[in-house]
Amino acid sequence: MIFQNKNIISLIIICSSSTALANQTNTTTQKDKLLVTASKIKSNSKQIDANDISTVRGTTNSDIFANETSLQVNNARNEAGALDIGIRGLQGNGRVPIIIDGSLQSTNTWRGYQGSTDRTYVDMDLIDTIEIEKGASMSKFSGGAIGGTVKLKTLSANSIIPQGDQFGFLFKGNIYNNNRRPTIASDEKGESGYRVSNGVKNSHFNNGSITTGVAYRNDKFDILLAHSDRKQGNFFAGKNGYHKYANTDAPIKPGQEVVNTSYESQSTLLKTNIYLNPYSSIELNYRHHEQKAGEVLAAYWYQFDGKMPQWSLGSADIDTASLNYSYKPDSLWVDMNLGLWWTKGKFKQRNGTTDDVTAHYGNQYQHRYTDERMGFNLENTSEFADYPIDITYGVEYMQQKSKPLTKTYQPIWTPEGTIPGEELDPVTRNAKGTNKSVFTNMAYQGEWVSTLVGWRIHAFDVDDHVLGKSISYGPKNDLMGELRFHVTDEFDIYTKYSDSYREPSLFESTVSGQTYSYSPDVPLKPEHAKSFEVGMNVEKENL
């Protein structure tokens, strides 16, 4: 679907004090030295920093990814404000995990006739850097990631405090008029007859966002508190290119309002780094995200007499906490990182079946559920003194729990009305899944040639509380190798091969009362992906 892009106004202000750190001086001598190191960027890895994010931020959370090659943003306008990323045509069920500050927050959501999606909830105005790795990888969180990984790093104190200062303040805001906030009826029957608007009112700048932050640092610790508040209404369909679909009886006409695409959220981030000594530090993160958003239901995608169904907004509340401990002593053999993380989402959305048997229209699909994940990973890198070789190795453990918060009943029609009958299988998976893996990589960085080889062994265990049964997948071995020739400082030729597996996700391997459900009579097998790449990489400024 094509959307109009009307006027958008943005404002970014960063303020700081000029109090120097206690261990810094205000003068610079010729003896002071600045050491800058750099390494070759992998051809299948892309780094997006804060300046890039601010430049192409757009209005929707997923707009930042719009210009990335080989990457697809699924349902950018009607995914309830969430991220659902595909790489090279692979997406969903852990094929492209999105990692935020060393924690995995992904919820598989059933969409009825529209299939299912992997949703990650975050406000991109709280993101500092993005790393996109295409294809299989042997790093953390890469087990089953046969499409690639997307790693997000939120703002830190250093993001808003200029070098040499102790305090920093952030204010960022934008307003825009390219959408319309819907007026939603108070009952579900009234919601089904919403009058669609036929054009944008350019004078109505009543949508936008505000992000504020404050940070402090010294030589012992730093701390950041940031908050983002965002509101945007329904989008409007574009007009250009509509003639290509003239033979299609589309419910939405050129320039009309697209119902159930509005979104509003509040996100809070608290982050601190504690510098224990010159060799070690601890980073603590807590993020709370709550939102309300519309969702397009395929069964109600029609227009009659200028009216379409516009439902009340569904909700999602996400809590995420993580701890990352880094230890790098004066030794080539130890560069260690320990990560502990937890995330939990509570959802009330129209993508299941309600426990109210008297509900009709869109409310019959409204239900509540939780998705909780936790895990830890331990990783270390060792280098050789006499050779440009380093070895990275580690272990990883992740657990996911999915649980319904509403029950489903067989409706029984009586002269007095509809009453609940026997309890049916829940529409949300009621299950627990556990991932375990061990991995190692060895890299050689030569002047003209670089190589990388990696291996991972991983397994997945499922406990289905509906069936009362357990399933084990694996262990499976993943292999990867890359050979890179540095023709010049700016031009590389490379080849890469990977042989990897993805075990069925918790959603795919457990039973529920939804349209699609796993059948124990037809057991699933892990996906087996083999990939071979040959390519060129050019890094050149001002091109």
Question: Tell me: the pLDDT tens digits for 481-524?
Answer: 999 999 998 899 999 999 999 999 999 999 888 766 778 788 88
Tokens, residue 472 = 């084990």
pLDDT band at residue 15 under the 50/70/90 scheme: low
What gap in Å lies between CA 69 and CA 88, rounded to an integer?
9
What gap in Å lies between CA 3 and CA 136, rounded to an integer?
33
Determine the pLDDT at residue 9.
Answer: 55
Q: Quick one: average pLDDT of 70-80? A: 82
Q: Quick one: average pLDDT of 35-56? A: 61
Q: Quick one: average pLDDT of 226-248? A: 85
Work out the mean pLDDT of the chain and round it to a whole number: 86
Burial 102-137 (b: 16+ CB within 10 A, else e): bbbbbbbbbbbebebbbbbbbbbbbbbbbebbbbbb
The answer on pLDDT for 324 being more than 60 is yes
Determine the pLDDT at residue 41.
Answer: 44
Phi, psi angle pair for 420, to nearest 5°: -75, 135
Q: Quick one: average pLDDT of 88-98? A: 91
Which whole-number Å values give the CA distances from 112 to 94, 100, 118, 333, in the listed order? 19, 28, 14, 52
Tokens, residue 108 = 């598989």
The answer on pLDDT for 28 being more than 50 is no
Question: Tell me: the pLDDT tens digits for 151-174?
Answer: 999 999 999 999 889 999 999 998
The answer on pLDDT for 273 being more than 80 is yes
pLDDT band at residue 295 under the 50/70/90 scheme: confident
Question: Tell me: the pLDDT tens digits for 390-415?
Answer: 999 999 999 999 999 988 899 999 99
Determine the pLDDT at residue 38.
Answer: 42
The answer on pLDDT for 17 being more than 70 is no
Determine the pLDDT at residue 277.
Answer: 94
413: exposed, middle or buried (Cβ count in 10 Å: 0-12, 13-18, 19+): exposed
Determine the pLDDT at residue 6.
Answer: 46
What gap in Å lies between CA 372 and CA 106, rounded to an integer?
9
pLDDT band at residue 29 under the 50/70/90 scheme: very low
Q: How many CB atoms lie within 10 A of CB 51?
A: 7
> Of 25-29, 246-250, 523-527, which gets the smallest average pLDDT?
25-29
What gap in Å lies between CA 237 and CA 200, rounded to an integer?
10
The highest-confidence range among 135-149, 196-210, 290-304, 334-348, by mean pLDDT, is 334-348
What gap in Å lies between CA 131 and CA 21, rounded to an integer?
31
Phi, psi angle pair for 455, to nearest 5°: -145, 140
Tokens, residue 536 = 């060129």
Q: Quick one: average pLDDT of 11-40? A: 41
The answer on pLDDT for 219 being more than 60 is yes
> Of 36-45, 161-170, 261-270, which gets the smallest average pLDDT?
36-45
- Cα torsion 205, 209, 214, 215: sign: negative
Determine the pLDDT at residue 44.
Answer: 61
Question: Tell me: the pLDDT tens digits for 171-207?
Answer: 999 888 888 889 999 888 899 999 999 888 777 787 8
Q: Of 41, 148, 136, nearest to 484 (Cα)?
A: 41
**Identity (one letter) of the amino acid at 474?**
G
Angle, CA 198 vertex, CA 192 and CA 204 arms, to 5°: 105
Determine the pLDDT at residue 27.
Answer: 37
The answer on pLDDT for 37 being more than 80 is no
Question: Tell me: the pLDDT tens digits for 435-454?
Answer: 999 999 999 999 999 999 99
- pTM for this model (two decimals): 0.88
The answer on pLDDT for 10 being more than 70 is no
Determine the pLDDT at residue 472.
Answer: 95
